[in-house]
Amino acid sequence: MPADWQRALAVVAHPDDLEYGCSAAVAAWTDEGREVTYLLASRGEAGIDTIDPVDAAPLREREQRASAAVVGVSEVVFLDHEDGVIEEGMALRRDIAAAIRRYRPELVITLNHRDTWGGVAWNTPDHRAVGRATLDAAGDAGNRWIFPELTERGLDPWDGVRWVAVAGSDTPTHAVDATAGLERSVQSLLEHRTYIEVLTDEDPETYCRTFLTANAERTAARFGGRPAVPFEVFGR
Ligand SMILES: [Zn+2]
């Protein structure tokens, strides 16, 4: 994984996307003194069947902030696109480009933007939309003539994104050692307690540890035998 960077912006659709995907890597990065900011397109308000979106939105925002803090991330930004019906279009690209200009990351992280998980499970429209818009916005952010209204708002072009790393890809090209961050990634996912308690009858901590450990070990087989978080890295 590229190591010559200082700032990363992680852009996903929902609270818990980063915790299921890659927070062990985030923990390792913040340990090294790098700055990581989370940008969420929605508050995940449509994610819990038993809780009305009006109540779920602030609850999930709170859980996401706590979850980020566990892996050393203090800045969590919500764009307030509508959960479940996020549209891949100019409004989303503009919002993500604006954040890229504001936070000036060298590395942008997102989640699987393709149609399926592992070729067998259909991906959600929100993940596809946000992943693809993020890959696009990494370029938009550097061009002063795309979204000129952002420049008028004082957000100067940032052409410094060197890589976009996609977590949860079926075709990973790189990986980050998960050894140091694995336990914190479990605790970080566990902060989404309300969501997880509705999702599974298992003990929440057992569920989180089993899921994340199995993922990291599956990746180990491909990346030198150590538990790892895989990414598909697109250069720019
Ligand atoms: Zn999601």
CA–centroid distance, residue 125 to ligand 1 (Å):
9
For 51-69, write each residue's pLDDT tens digit: 999 999 999 999 999 999 9
Q: Is 14 exposed, middle or buried (0-12, 13-18, 19+ CB in 10 A)?
A: buried
CATH fold of 7-235: Rossmann fold (3.40.50)
Q: Determine how β-strand 228-235 pairs with β-strand 163-167.
A: antiparallel
Contact indicator for 79, 129 with CB cutoff of 8 Å: no
Residue type, 89: G
For 16-59, write each residue's pLDDT tens digit: 999 998 999 999 999 999 999 999 999 999 999 999 999 999 99
CA–centroid distance, residue 116 to ligand 1 (Å):
13
Average pLDDT value for residue range 104-117: 97
CA–centroid distance, residue 124 to ligand 1 (Å):
7
CA–centroid distance, residue 127 to ligand 1 (Å):
6
Residue type, 53: P
For 135-188, write each residue's pLDDT tens digit: 999 999 999 999 999 999 999 999 999 999 999 999 999 999 999 999 999 999
Note the pLDDT of residue 222. Answer: 87
Integer Cα distance of 148 and 150 in angstroms:
5
pTM of the model: 0.97
Residue located via tokens 């069947």: 49
Residue located via tokens 């050692």: 177
Q: Is the predicted pLDDT of residue 223 greater than 90, yes or no? A: no
Residue type, 146: I
CA–centroid distance, residue 44 to ligand 1 (Å):
8
CA–centroid distance, residue 153 to ligand 1 (Å):
30
Please report, for the chain, the start and end positions of each structural domain, with discontinuous segments joined by +.
7-235
Integer Cα distance of 212 and 185 in angstroms:
8
Task: Please write down the HEC assignment for all residues of 115-152.
Answer: CEECCCEECCHHHHHHHHHHHHHHHHCCCCCCCHHHHH
Contact indicator for 100, 158 with CB cutoff of 8 Å: yes
Integer Cα distance of 130 and 92 in angstroms:
8
